[in-house]
Structure 1
Amino acid sequence: MVAWQKKLQLWCSRCDRLKRESTDTVIERLKFVQKFAVDVTLDPDTADPYLILSDDGKQVSYGDIRRNIQENPKRFNQGLCVLAQQGFSSGRFYYEVQVKGKTWWDLGVARESINRKKAIWLTPEDGFWTVVLRNENQYKAGEHPPVSLSLRVNPEKVGVFVDYEEGLVSFYDVESRSHIYSFTGQTFTDKLYPYFSPGRNDEGKNSNPLIITPVSTLMD
């Protein structure tokens, strides 16, 4: 068997393992990825004009009025999204986001070279690796086409883990200690930035902010 075939076989095996992880396995995996926790803060220079960021850069919510703020090449003009200040071009990193009480959100990572001035398509081909919530309980992974996800419970806190060299982006429900979805076998060349979209207010039902929370390491 040639080298590329062995590598493909390993990736397929890893993908299969991720799909059938037991609760105990996920807990051990979460303990492992939490070791790579990073301090993430939101970058106001990238925030869509309708978004409101907290002073500490840890929360983002939708505002009903478009803010009159200075245009710059980093800023999104569509998509109601914002990136973190911190970008990563190697290694592993992990962060957690509170999504409790929301009916609409996007979370994941985006490559630095994405087009920020046009409509956003949440696919790896367009530089996004995301999981999204729509209509209170419709979860999807941003593949092409999107992959519908059946979750046992609605996550209240989502953990995002990236292994740059392995081409892996994984999402976890921290509270229920379950695996949500993984993008595997990806090839990263750009710097990757944590990506957030709180969605519109949905007549007040989706007014809660997305909150970047400290990582609380799971105990035995």
Structure 2
Amino acid sequence: MEERAAVSALDGLMERNCSLIQEIEQDLARLTVAMDQTDTDPDTMSVFSYPEQQDTETVDRVMDLLNSSDPSSVRLDEAKAEQILSLANNMLLLISSQTPIIKSFTKSYSSEVCLDPETAHPKLIISPRGDSAIYTDTWQQLPDLPGRFDTTLNVISLQGFSFGHHYWEIDVTGKTYWELGVTYPNIPRKGTTEDCWLGRGDESWCVEFFDGEYTAWHGGVPHQLPFTKRFCRIGVLCSFPAGLVTFLEAENMTPLFSFCAGTFSDCLHLALCPGHDHNGTNAQPIVICNAPSPTSDL
């Protein structure tokens, strides 16, 4: 009810402002015509020179309108200021109260995934459950499979999805560098081509955290994000009907960035990059929070 009342009040203010603007434009047009006539007729004195020849009513109305629309002249008494502050606080409380509902609704799209060790870079250790990846400085002697990343520290999920809505949460607590997102299965995986990095080609979408800054990537185009806090858990929401990939701060459901792909041309896999350990500052694993339980069938 308060929201509707606020919207109604704003609509009324907008209508009055539009009316004032129209009146000002009409009055200024009349004044312009009068001044033009003065310029073309030397015998006619300026409308501002002799009050008895001025359209004093028009001038007064214009000045009143200009004065009334000057923001610096607006003064609120204490009661009105308290009402506005109370309304703003109530709206913030209303928005905050919806967070549990939004979180519950979003989590209803949770889809279990596990990481595919046959796609993991040889310097990544994948947990037995497939729910985490951690960097090791040792190059593991693993089969050089066609699907394995050999330059970028990437790993993708075993499961791919081609319809519906899907949501995953990834724990990045204690990390100073990570990348996560979704990708088509045809993302390049061999060599030093830039397209092997998440978000650098048209096959993947990601958010990256590096050196205290967040950046969203797709098609090689970076989007700097206005966040500085080191988040602990990131949500990834993928909607095939909407063609949408959205990244969230999972605790408060704060939107970080959304990509509108329109229509996905292939199935999507969750993709992760835990990054190098950076002299021990980024040694923590990157963990999928809704991985399958030990008794689940993959």
Which of the five TM-score ranges fits, normalised by the shorter chain? 0.7 to 0.9
Q: Which segment is superposed worse, 114-123 or 162-171? A: 114-123
Structure holding more strand per residue: 1
Label 1:94 to 1:152 Cα distance change in 2 as closer, same or farther (>3 A).
Answer: same
| Residues 1:153 and 2:226 are matched in the alignment | no
| Residues 1:175 and 2:261 are matched in the alignment | no
Corresponding residue SS for 2:107: helix
Indicate the residue corresponding to 2:175 in structure 1: 102
Give the AA of the match of 1:56.
R
| Residues 1:189 and 2:265 are matched in the alignment | yes
Alpha-carbon contact 1:155-1:176 (below 8 Å) kept: no
CA distance, structure 1, for counterparts of residue 177 and residue 215 of structure 2: 11
Greater relative contact order (CA < 8 Å, ≥ 6 in sequence)? 1
Q: Which structure: larger Rg?
A: 2
Corresponding residue SS for 1:32: helix
Note the aligned Cα RMSD (angstroms).
Answer: 1.9
| Residues 1:205 and 2:281 are matched in the alignment | yes
Structure holding more helix per residue: 2
CA distance, structure 2, for counterparts of residue 185 and residue 121 of structure 1: 19
- Per-residue deviation, residues 116-165 of structure 1 (Å, max 9, x unmatched): 11332433743111000011x11000034201111263210111110013
Cα deviation for residue 26 of structure 1 reads 5.7
Corresponding residue SS for 1:33: helix
Indicate the residue corresponding to 1:78 in structure 2: 151
Indicate the residue corresponding to 1:46 in structure 2: 119
Indicate the residue corresponding to 1:3 in structure 2: none
Which of 30, 35, 57 is the aligned partner of 2:103?
A: 30
CA distance, structure 2, for counterparts of residue 214 and residue 114 of structure 1: 24
Corresponding residue SS for 1:142: strand
Length-normalised TM-score, structure 1: 0.81
Percentage of pairs with the same residue = 34
Show structure 2 runs of 5+ residues with no match: 1-94, 292-298
| Residues 1:141 and 2:192 are matched in the alignment | no
- Per-residue deviation, residues 4-44 of structure 1 (Å, max 9, x unmatched): xxxxxxxxxxxxxxxxxx65566544332211111111100
Length-normalised TM-score, structure 2: 0.61
